[in-house]
């Protein structure tokens, strides 16, 4: 086992992660990824004899990031997206150290992360979404003995009806939902909250679940404010929600493996794409999705343009020459 990183390096990383937690409000998953990236960076610096960020050069930063992309020492090469995240973590650490006066210059200033290839989001056709939701179970047909049927249908209707991230859905509290107004307060990334409409079908499914199913489920637990609960009455986990969707998608005949596999984010992608297909303004969709920048939302406009091209190519008599 190699030498442990020097105390000055560990303090710098700890201070940066604390900054990301308190000032930036990054999610636990993102923080865990940054921590792993920076732990690996410190090991690289330590093996090179570096004990303080002030002595790091651009060459050492570039060499570390190149090694991540190339692989080695028991680590497979990082995908472009993972390498870009690692570069972001390293560059963020050096910018933080400069602002805090720990270093006199930013050694990573001219280092450019790899550019991930643009991937268009996977969106389901409307008919497939309807089939998925109906497969989850009928709100009206579910009897008193089927609380989980009502929960599953409410969860999937909620995801598609609001465009919520899975973390926002399982983090929603009962008091955040207004079934009369048909709205819900979603708490998104970076501590940002937004009020979004739920939609008629999702409101009906939620109302049925909250009145006919949730009280019986939470009676067996310790009490939780979460809207969506598991069979034991506790808050539904991310994995639990993913399992519900996967099980329902499989029953509906939709792919659950491979690049086109249905995931909770698939419903979010479908929500955005169907809104834009229906004529919604991209900035309205940005607000509904909780994107900090409209640039993030504009990737969905590429999806709709691709569909327009397909329709044009098959329908216009002189589209193909």
Task: Specify the DSSP class assigned to residue 105.
Answer: S
Residue 269 among the catalytic residues: no
Report helix, strand or coil for 122: coil
Question: Which of these is catalytic: 35, 69, 189, 247?
Answer: 189
Q: 184 pairs with which residues across the strands?
A: 177, 196
The Cα-based distances of 48 to 3, 73, 146 in angstroms read: 11, 15, 62
Residues 84 and 240: their CA atoms lie apart, in Å, by 30
177-178 and 193-197 as β-strands: parallel, antiparallel, unpaired?
unpaired
Burial of residue 277 (number of CB atoms within 10 Å: 0-12, 13-18, 19+): middle
Active site (annotated) includes residue 265: yes
- Catalytic pick from 151, 214, 274, 291? 291
Q: How wide is the angle at C-alpha 257 spanned by C-alphas 237 and 286, nearest 5°? A: 60
Query: Which of 265, 283, 309, 312 is labelled catalytic?
Result: 265
Q: Examine the residue annotation and report whether 291 is marked as an active-site residue of this protein.
A: yes
Which two structure tokens, joined as six digits, stand for 112? 């450019």
Reference 274, options 199, 206, 209; nearest CA is 199
* Catalytic residue list contains 300: yes
Contact 154, 209 (CB under 8 A): yes
307 is catalytic: no
Considering the candidates 268, 269, 271, 274, report the single residue annotated as catalytic.
Answer: 268
Active-site pick, 16, 209, 271, 300: 300
Q: Out of 91, 94, 151, 165, which one is annotated catalytic?
A: 165
Q: Is 19 annotated as catalytic?
A: no
Q: Could you list the active site residues?
A: 165, 189, 265, 268, 291, 300
């Amino acid at each position: 086992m190699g030498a442990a990183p020097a105390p000055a390096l560990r303090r710098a990383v700890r201070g940066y992660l604390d900054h990301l937690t308190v000032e930036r409000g990054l999610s636990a998953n993102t923080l865990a990824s940054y921590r792993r990236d920076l732990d690996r960076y410190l090991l690289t610096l330590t093996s090179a004899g570096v004990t303080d960020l002030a002595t790091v050069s651009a060459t050492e930063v570039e060499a570390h990031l190149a090694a991540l992309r190339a692989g080695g020492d028991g680590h497979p090469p990082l995908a472009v997206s993972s390498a870009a995240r690692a570069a972001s973590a390293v560059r963020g650490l050096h910018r933080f150290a400069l602002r805090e006066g720990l270093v006199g210059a930013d050694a990573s200033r001219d280092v450019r992360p790899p550019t991930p290839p643009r991937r268009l989001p996977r969106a389901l056709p409307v008919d497939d979404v309807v089939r998925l939701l109906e497969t989850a179970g009928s709100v009206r047909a579910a009897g008193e003995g089927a609380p989980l049927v009502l929960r599953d249908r409410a969860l999937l209707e909620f995801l598609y009806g609001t465009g919520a991230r899975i973390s926002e859905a399982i983090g929603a509290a009962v008091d955040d939902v207004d079934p009369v107004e048909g709205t819900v307060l979603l708490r998104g990334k970076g501590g940002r909250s937004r009020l979004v409409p739920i939609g008629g079908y999702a409101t009906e499914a939620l109302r049925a679940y909250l009145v006919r199913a949730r009280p019986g489920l939470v009676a067996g637990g310790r009490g939780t404010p979460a809207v969506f609960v598991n069979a034991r009455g506790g808050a539904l986990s991310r994995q639990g929600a993913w399992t519900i969707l996967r099980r329902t998608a499989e029953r509906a005949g939709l792919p659950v493996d491979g690049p086109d596999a249905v995931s909770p984010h698939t419903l979010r992608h479908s929500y955005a794409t169907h809104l834009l297909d229906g004529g919604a303004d991209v900035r309205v969709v940005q607000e509904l999705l909780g994107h900090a920048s409209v640039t993030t939302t504009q990737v969905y406009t590429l999806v709709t343009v691709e569909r327009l091209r397909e329709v044009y190519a098959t329908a216009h008599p002189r589209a193909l020459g």
